[in-house]
């Protein structure tokens, strides 16, 4: 079983409740995998705002205890990986995706 395998799908509004009144931090290595040109598009603020204000299209708990969250954009999905800690939400990684994950039953 992969540490990224989805073990539980959650309601999008559930995530907003979990994030409410928590500090959102961005892990320093979250920006390491993107090109410099993309860093102007994907700023810390651009990652925090959807988490604070938007109901995600898809939320799931991964085997590693982190949550994978998908926000629909015009031509892609913004996938943000977070870890929920006591009083804090940490953005661990993010990426552009063309599709939602396929769930195996």
- pLDDT tens digits for range 1-53: 445 677 788 888 888 888 888 999 999 888 776 655 555 567 888 889 999 99
Number of structural domains (the chain) is 1
Residue whose pair of structure tokens reads 């892609």 in the numeric block:
76
Does a structural domain hold residue 103?
no
Of 78, 67, 48, nearest to 7 (Cα)?
67
The answer to whether the beta carbons of residues 96 and 89 sit under 8 Å apart is: no
Does a structural domain hold residue 104?
no
Residue 87 domain boundaries:
6-97
Does a structural domain hold residue 13?
yes
CATH of the domain at 68: 3.30.2310
Dihedral (CA of 81, 52, 23, 32) sign: positive
- Tens of pLDDT, residue by residue over 64-103, are 999 999 999 999 999 999 999 988 999 998 888 999 987 7
Q: Rounded to the nearest 5°, which phi and psi values hold at 49?
A: -60, -50
Stated pTM of the model: 0.85
């Amino acid at each position: 079983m992969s540490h990224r395998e989805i073990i539980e799908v959650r309601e999008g509004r559930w995530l907003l409740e979990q994030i409410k009144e928590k500090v959102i931090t961005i892990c320093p290595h979250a920006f390491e995998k993107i090109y410099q040109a993309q860093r102007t598009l994907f700023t810390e603020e651009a990652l925090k705002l959807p988490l604070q204000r938007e109901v995600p299209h898809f939320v799931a708990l991964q085997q590693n205890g982190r949550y994978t969250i998908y926000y629909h954009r015009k031509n892609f999905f913004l996938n943000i990986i977070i870890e929920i800690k006591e009083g804090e939400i940490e953005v661990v990684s993010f990426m552009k995706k063309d599709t939602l994950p396929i769930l195996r039953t």
